Amino acid sequence: MQLINLKKNRGWILALLVLPLSFNSCSKKEITLEPRQSISSDKALTSKNTVQAAVNSVYAGLKDGTLYGRDVIAISDALSDITRSTNRSGRLTPENNNNSRAHLLLWSVAYELINEANLILEAIPSVGDASAADKSSWEGQLKFLRGLLYFELVRAYAYIPTAVITANDKGGVPVKLTGTTSSTLNAYSPKREATAAVYDQIYLDLNSAITFLDNSLGNGLATKAGARALLSRVALYKGDWATCVTQSTAAIGEGVGTLSTSANYVSSWRSAVHPESIFEVKFLTASENVGQNTSLQTSFTSLVTPGVSCSLGGFGDLVPSAFLLTQLGITSGAAPTCGTTPVPGVIARGNDVRAQLYEWGAVGRGTPNIECTKFLGRNGGINLDNVPVIRISEMYLNRAEAYYMQGGAANEALALADLNKIITNRGMTAVVATGSALLAEILRQDMLEFAFEGHRFFDLKRRGQDIVKSPATVPFNDFRILAPIPTSDIDVNLVQNFGY
């Protein structure tokens, strides 16, 4: 008996043969697809080129809007007493009103960049094709960056050691020094370290950076000078006056950044790279342009070109308060008008050359205001500016304050010398002062020198001073002095700042 009639059943046989074949080919290979714009984490940090690119990524992250792209500069000043919001685009008004939760928001971006630095630091030893010099340079740069980021975190979210309200103090910020991978994810539970411990870690990173770095990378990247200058500021915040003096002196001695004089002060603020910069965040190409809504230029001025009030640029959301204008010696007259016969605005200034950076804004977005023109598209296009993080003039003022705080007539004399170094280079004659008047003048010069550079809020905060502003003063014991930690990160170990 024929078991199978081949001729009669060939169709069935064909079908039975074809189907399993098709089923079989449903293998992993058929559905494997590799992304082309990304690479797998395990391959990412294995060669010199990729690690170098990963280091660049941490620097690039500093351009984020919550960091030096805008907030650290503009929101700090909005929170302080030297600015007034114009409500043109609606931006920076809640911050200027010191509304609850309208504050610095750098938490998640800072930790994102810290994690990048940690991952690279862990990967560096096993990068085969990199030289020892490459590795130590990377390590120095990453520790500088990590120190900078922890400093930005701890000064925003915690009290500054020189002025603490113990009853309201919930500590510093979590310190994480290892990279996150999917395998370490579940075990991780962060807690707020004591503020002192965070400062200790920043010291460790910056001291390590000082030993690894030289000044060859220039002021757009980490240098020994930059690490020293940052440590000078950190020490000032910590109340470690001796270190502040030492590092300020050393930073000045490194030769990165040149103090401007009254003759070139204004032109310094018109050149792409500020000659005083020890470290600045670079915004070089048009694709890095922050744009019309949230750039520092649009935040601070509606002008496109200095002196041309009839050409409208950005919004000019944050302008100098009456208090700051008085301190700068500026009195304003009639606002400019445009039309068939444009009339320029009227403004009178004193000797302080810094007042030259304040002028009438553009016509066309409501009533014109006197605006600050530090950010004016210096890199060759509107809204494109490098952002100075540390300028050398700060070293003189930091040192002056540290000398003063150490006490004694000799130190006061040294402090006065540093103070006058700044005053005389800003078009004014040297002053004579001692005691609290000397300190007050140092702090006043700090305010005038670094207005619209994000210093003032923290200078008040570290001195424990109220923010005196209209319509209502924010006392130092108010909860809004500290930034709110993102609600989603709060748990039993990671407590929110008081008042939120």
**Contacts of another protein in 370-409 (CB under 8 A):** 381-382
344 interacts with another protein by CB under 8 A: no
Q: Under rule CB under 8 A, which residues in 239-258 are in contact with another protein?
A: none
Of the residues 6, 17, 185, 492, which one makes contact with another protein according to CB under 8 A: 185
143 interacts with another protein by CB under 8 A: no
For residue 371, the 8-state DSSP code is E
333 interacts with another protein by CB under 8 A: no
Q: What is the CA radius of gyration of the chain?
A: 28
Q: Which stretch binds another protein (CB under 8 A): 143-151, 234-242, 270-278, 470-478?
A: 470-478
Locate tokens 């984490």: which residue? 41
30 interacts with another protein by CB under 8 A: yes
129 interacts with another protein by CB under 8 A: no
Distance CA 464, CA 458 (A): 9
How near is the Cβ of 287 to another protein at its closest, in Å?
A: 5
Distance CA 307, CA 115 (A): 45
187 interacts with another protein by CB under 8 A: no
DSSP 169-214: ---------S---TTTTTT----PPPHHHHHHHHHHHHHHHHHH--
Please say which residue, 23 or 409, places its beta carbon nearer to another protein.
Answer: 23
Q: How far apart are the first and last CA of the chain?
A: 90
At residue 215, the 3 state secondary structure works out as: coil
Q: By rule CB under 8 A, what string of x and - marks binding of each residue 60-89 to another protein?
A: xx-x-----------------------xxx
Distance CA 322, CA 60 (A): 36
174 interacts with another protein by CB under 8 A: yes
Distance CA 448, CA 456 (A): 9
Q: Which of 317, 321, 299 is nearest to 82 (CA)?
A: 321
Of the residues 3, 31, 133, 167, which one makes contact with another protein according to CB under 8 A: 31
Q: Are 480 and 499 in contact (CB under 8 A)?
A: yes
Please say which residue, 281 or 353, places its beta carbon nearer to another protein.
Answer: 281
338 interacts with another protein by CB under 8 A: yes
Question: In the beta sheet, which residues pair with residue 108?
Answer: none
H or E element in which residue 44 lies: helix 41-44
4 interacts with another protein by CB under 8 A: no
166 interacts with another protein by CB under 8 A: no
Of the residues 48, 105, 112, 262, which one makes contact with another protein according to CB under 8 A: 112
Task: Name, in order, each residue with C-beta under 8 angstroms of 229's C-beta and a sequence gap of 6 or more.
Answer: 247, 248, 251, 278, 279, 390, 392, 394, 395
Please say which residue, 196 or 286, places its beta carbon nearer to another protein.
Answer: 286
CA dihedral 73, 79, 81, 85 (to 10 degrees): 90
Q: Under rule CB under 8 A, which residues in 191-250 are in contact with another protein?
A: 220-221
At residue 279, the 3 state secondary structure works out as: strand
Q: Are 332 and 309 in contact (CB under 8 A)?
A: no
Q: How many residues bind another protein (CB under 8 A)?
A: 101
For residue 377, the 8-state DSSP code is -
How near is the Cβ of 26 to another protein at its closest, in Å?
A: 5
How near is the Cβ of 34 to another protein at its closest, in Å?
A: 9
Distance CA 320, CA 201 (A): 36
Q: Which stretch binds another protein (CB under 8 A): 51-59, 65-73, 129-137, 207-215?
A: 51-59
How near is the Cβ of 58 to another protein at its closest, in Å?
A: 8
Of the residues 92, 114, 230, 389, which one makes contact with another protein according to CB under 8 A: 114
For residue 146, the 8-state DSSP code is H
Task: Name, in order, each residue with C-beta under 8 angstroms of 337's C-beta and a sequence gap of 6 or more.
Answer: 343, 363
Q: Which stretch binds another protein (CB under 8 A): 228-236, 398-406, 458-466, 488-496?
A: 488-496
Farthest-apart Cα atoms in the chain, separation: 124
322 interacts with another protein by CB under 8 A: no
Please say which residue, 43 or 125, places its beta carbon nearer to another protein.
Answer: 43
Q: Which stretch binds another protein (CB under 8 A): 76-84, 111-119, 143-151, 406-414?
A: 111-119
Question: In the beta sheet, which residues pair with residue 387?
Answer: 281
The CA angle 298-300-305, to the nearest 5 degrees, is 70
How near is the Cβ of 48 to another protein at its closest, in Å?
A: 12
Q: By rule CB under 8 A, what string of x and - marks binding of each residue 281-310 to another protein?
A: -x-xxxxxx--x-----------x-----x
Q: Which stretch binds another protein (CB under 8 A): 42-50, 67-75, 227-235, 260-268?
A: 42-50
Please say which residue, 284 or 495, places its beta carbon nearer to another protein.
Answer: 284
